[in-house]
Amino acid sequence: MIQFQVEGMSCGHCVSAITKAVHAVDPAAQVSADVPTQAVKVESAADRSALQQAIEGAGYPVKSAA
């Protein structure tokens, strides 16, 4: 499980865009997002940096990854 703190995630549309970006890297990934805490959890075999680049490429800066 990889967790990202994502800036600017404020609604369901944001969650959808982030999920779509992650699925572009790994279609089998499981994505869970908590809008109030701006936390995104990803269960994926893909590389953490590739996932982070996809999220940032969708327009959502990643503050931290764990």
Q: Would you call 10 exposed, middle or buried from its count of C-beta atoms within 10 A (0-12, 13-18, 19+)?
A: exposed
Would the pLDDT of 65 be above 80? Answer: no
Q: Are 4 and 42 in contact (CB under 8 A)?
A: yes
Looking at the structure of the chain, the number of domains it has is 1
pLDDT at position 34, please? 95
Range of the domain at 47: 2-65
Question: Tokens representing 28?
Answer: 């089998």
Spatial CA neighbour of 6 closest among 25, 26, 31, 33: 33
CATH number at residue 20: 3.30.70.100
For all residues of the chain together, what is the average pLDDT? Answer: 95
- Global pTM reads 0.91
Would the pLDDT of 62 be above 80? Answer: yes
